[in-house]
A and B are shown apart, each in its own frame.
Chain A
């Protein structure tokens, strides 16, 4: 796996772990908050429910106190509107409250909330009929054209004889609903056949529950109270925060990934280039020279100090290898005594010239041998023999053209490869060389030395063996013809 991938996967794994932990924390927090929110809503719903029940209890309590008052009994018996009004007024706690005293015929004797309004007949009302049959009524009915929570009961003299009816009521209106949800975040709606009212402009409530209405009977059909939240603003804010967190984390993850990718690419690119350079060298795709050139380029480029140091080290190492390679190359292709090309080198060059000749570049070769060299060794020793070889090689090398290749074929035999030279040109060159050697004076050898030369030129479909054989045959012929002469192929 690439270093880039390794670092990327390792880093991304850690980031993922951190982000997943963060997401888990956010989700846990959200769930805790949601639970607290639901709990708060439940408490507030119960609070409203309790208020409603207390209101019903207060209705009944007020009515019972009034029913048991001697003054009220007296007032009912004597149709004392003023007395009943004063008593009723005392027990009114809100503008929307109503306290009515009626006789058994259903004629209103007094209204606690309206001093001058009495004398009308309510005997046909639902609540009044219910009281006549059931003694009491707790429910919802229309009182003075207003829908009300009503408690009505018979008033009895001495606790036995019915003398009148009391009705204590609270108008179901906007003010009542507002009072029920005062100090809470809740909203309440009331729906009946007569009206639809709500503490909020919108009828839509969240987390809605129905108010438990413990009424004996409903005078109004299908009257329901619904409690709920006006809006889920608080929860929505929480949800939004969670979403924002998650989006931020996702965005941060993507940005970090991109940033990581860019940083890794930038910083690992030079390492990767160096690595590829080494791999290419190892796989023989590039030479050590190219390694040197490219590492040199890395050194001069704007790179990180560490990369620069590695590149410098690599550059020096490559240079050493190149030097060693050159030395080895030289050693493997140079004759140790004469410093001319050795037989291996000559074979390589010959094969190269043969390939070039196939593309039309003509060449010739000269095979030469020192005449009676064994006698020199035997007479003057190997050191003098080597001296003669060295001196002769030196002369040959300087006598040849720059493009010509001169090498020691073995012992006292030499091969000359002459690029772009015809047979005739090669013969002339050979004869010149033959003459020059014959005139040559040695420092430590008192006699002159002659050489025999065989010349051959390239023929179509030649191999190294065929051309060498022809040169060798010519050399043999020169030897047999008296030495110190040039012979050429037929």
Chain B
């Protein structure tokens, strides 16, 4: 009930903000709210200054929720997962692609793609994906590329059906939460983005064994609502392409790039 009230309040707030010529920036809840705010704070400040508009930062309650917010125009621009963008492109073809994020990887290099990992505890008896049968597995969200789509695809490739072969699957939304649940033995294995794994301390990384690594996945995508003025969308896109950060911290957003959209469309074909 309380969540319903919060969501309605959020929608009302968004509507009010639009009426007041403010810009709403939405993100998926794939990390803790504090982490997400910190991650996007530099970009938001940059956009606010460049556009001379106040930007309201909102975190959707789940992946699907963000889709509905974009569709009904409550969110103007958003950073979405590759899979979610692929779904959006399929369901709402006129969604504006703005740019793909560039982030600092674990080696301190700028890159616009990452990998998904299937992990277990180092002391676990699970050594291959076949050993996952009958085990408890933690995904993030069905719309998460590295937290669901690719791992599921990898398992299927190895002949493991997540729906039937795993004893129990849990949707944990946040990549960090998958890792924490794994360390606390609530699950036997899980799927996470490589960035989340490399953000762990060395001691924690040593407690985790990587069972499988996905192919390169393009990073999250900045999109704009179809309800925005195309000229304004172009302006935002130009600003994003000119955004450059000097941060060196792992997983920090340092810039944007353009990717062929077919890379994302491919995600819809993974089964």
Query: Interface on A for B, CB 8 Å cutoff?
Result: 65, 69, 71, 78-83, 86-87, 90, 107, 109, 115-120
Contacts and interface: CB of A to CB of B under 8 A. Distances in A.
12 contacts: A78-B171, A79-B168, A80-B62, A80-B171, A80-B173, A81-B181, A82-B62, A115-B180, A118-B170, A119-B136, A119-B168, A120-B186
A82 B1 contact: no
A82 B171 contact: yes
Nearest to B6: A90
B180 A69 contact: no
B60 interface: no
Given A116-B181, A117-B186, A119-B186, A79 B1 contact: no
A339 B169 CA distance: 158
A79 B174 CA distance: 14
B70 to A, nearest CB: 20
B3 interface: yes
Nearest to A103: B168
Contact of B168 (A69, A107, A115): A107
B11 interface: no
Nearest to A90: B2
A83 B181 contact: no
A82 B168 contact: no
Nearest to A81: B170
Interface string B81-120: 0000000000000000000000000000000000000000
Contact of B170 (A65, A69, A79, A120): A79
A119 B187 contact: yes
Contact of A86 (B3, B181, B184, B187): B3
A90 B173 CA distance: 17
A117 B168 contact: no
A119 B182 CA distance: 11
User: Which 6 pairs show the lowest CB-CB distances between chains A and B?
Assistant: A82-B173, A80-B171, A119-B186, A116-B180, A81-B170, A116-B184
Nearest to B139: A79
Given A116-B184, A119-B136, A79 B177 contact: no
B177 A116 contact: yes
Contact of B186 (A69, A71, A90, A116): A116
A118 B186 contact: yes
B172 interface: yes
B184 to A, nearest CB: 5
Contacts of A81: 138, 170-172, 177, 181
Chain A interface, >50% SS class: mixed
B180 A79 contact: no
A81 B137 CA distance: 12
Interface in B154-188: 168-174, 177, 180-181, 183-187
A115 B177 contact: yes
Contacts of B3: 69, 71, 86-87, 90
Contacts of B138: 81
Contact of B1 (A65, A83, A117): A65
B217 to A, nearest CB: 21
A83 B177 CA distance: 12
A65 B4 CA distance: 13
Interface in B44-62: 61-62
Contacts of B61: 83, 86
Contact of B171 (A65, A79, A87, A107): A79
Contacts of A109: 170
B243 to A, nearest CB: 30
A90 B187 CA distance: 24
A71 B183 CA distance: 27
A83 B173 contact: yes
Contact of B169 (A65, A79, A86, A117): A79
A86 B2 CA distance: 11
Given A109-B170, A119-B136, A82 B177 contact: yes
Given A69-B3, A83-B61, A116-B184, 8 more contacts: A79-B169, A79-B170, A80-B170, A81-B138, A81-B171, A82-B173, A115-B180, A116-B183
Contacts of A117: 184, 186
B186 A82 contact: no
A87 B1 CA distance: 9
B184 A82 contact: no
B86 to A, nearest CB: 20
B2 A118 contact: no
Contacts of B184: 116-117
B147 to A, nearest CB: 11
Interface string B1-24: 111000000000000000000000
A107 B3 CA distance: 25
A239 B37 CA distance: 67
B44 to A, nearest CB: 24
Contacts of B62: 80, 82-83
A117 B138 CA distance: 12
B177 A118 contact: no
B136 to A, nearest CB: 5
